Amino acid sequence: MQILKVIGMLLEYPDAFLWDNRDDAVALVADEAPALSPFVTTMLNAPLLDKQAEWCEIFERGRATSLMLFEHVHAESRDRGQAMVDLLAQYEQAGLQLNCRELPDHLPLYLEYLSILPPAEAREGLQNVAPILALIGGRLKQRDCDYYQLFDALLTLADSRLTSDSVTKQVAGETRDDTRQALDAVWEEEQVKFIEDNATACDSSPLQNYQRRFSQDTAPQYVDVRAGGPT
């Protein structure tokens, strides 16, 4: 399913390679995911620098739209580390090698991995993260961000009943974590955390540190993938 790799590239930080090969990307999307054609054509015809700035605003302000899959399941708990180890083992078994700066749960990387699997296995891999895809897509749609279309396309390829509209009620009750006020609150909490970590390093567990760090932060809903949808 080569379309998965292309969607992963469209979700990644925009770079010159994709813009230089836009005709190939547009053609593949038109063939395998035609509903995405207007979005992709518009995106790749825009100035690269503009799309880079837009991407940073969308995916690097707050955690609610993070492209790190396990951020939406495990946050910063110990379980996330083990989940990454397990996922990395799957990549290695499939012959996919990561560079030292890549994290296994980065969605574009996960899509690249799925793209080299047989279609049935790739579809199953998408179904495994369908609740996360719906949640991120729902948040993007609420923010009037056209990137939600990529997540709906992935859900369609997964043959999932979920869409970005499936989480409308849940997302509507969330506090935005990408506002200046929310980001300032996180920065202030980081300063307190730095002082507390130095004062209590010997008697604090990672979970306690995490709870202190985000005690005043906005609280997006997390996903229990085993339950099949947002909590």
SS3 (DSSP) at 65: coil
User: Could you read off the pLDDT of 31-90 as tens digits, one per residue?
Assistant: 999 999 999 999 999 999 999 999 999 998 878 889 998 887 755 656 667 777 888 888
The amino acid present at 193, given as its one-letter code, is K
Q: Pick the more confident residue, 137 or 199.
A: 137
**Within the chain, where are the H helices?**
2-11, 16-20, 22-32, 37-45, 48-59, 78-93, 107-115, 119-128, 130-142, 148-157, 168-172, 180-199, 206-213
Q: Pick the more confident residue, 22 or 228.
A: 22
The amino acid present at 225, given as its one-letter code, is V
Beta partners for residue 106, in sequence order = 68
pLDDT of residue 40: 97
Q: Which range has the worst mean pLDDT, 57-66, 81-90, 93-102, 189-198?
A: 189-198
Q: Pick the more confident residue, 63 or 194.
A: 63
Query: Does residue 136 have a pLDDT over 60?
Result: yes
Full 3-state SS string of 72-100: HCCCCCHHHHHHHHHHHHHHHHCCCCCCC
Q: Which range has the worst mean pLDDT, 58-67, 115-124, 136-145?
A: 58-67
